[in-house]
Amino acid sequence: MNNKLLDRKMERWKEKYHDFSPELKKQIDKLVLKFEAKSTLIDCTLNTMQSKATLIGKRFLREYNGKIHEVKALEQGFYYNNKIYKSLSAIAYEITGTRWNGKRFFGVCK
């Protein structure tokens, strides 16, 4: 199911039932996280420019310490928490306080 169709179905659900329960929201976030992790895998041997071009427009979700973190890939970098970062690694560091390969942290690599 593509994102637009899913968005429309979710909007219809909200109109009918007003909103999702907190438990259902968590379940939906986890399913989206699993789906997007599988659909955004790239070959990590690509050079940096190729990999960034492949990622533009994609959204990444990562659950860490019970919180879901959302990142959007833009042409100028990665948008997270109202800031633009140069790399996924910088965001992974911001989230965890330790150095990570950003693509691995967000499950982007095959």
- Give the C-alpha separation, 21 to 94, whole Å: 30
CA dist list (Å): 13 to 8, 16, 20: 9, 5, 8
Task: Output the pTM of the full model.
Answer: 0.57
**CA dihedral sign of residues 94, 30, 72, 54:** positive
Task: Give the model confidence (pLDDT) of 57-106 as tens digits.
Answer: 888 888 898 888 999 999 999 999 999 999 999 999 999 999 998 888 88
Q: In this structure, what DSSP letter does residue 60 have?
A: E
Contact 92, 65 (CB under 8 A): no
Please tell me what DSSP assigns to residue 87. -
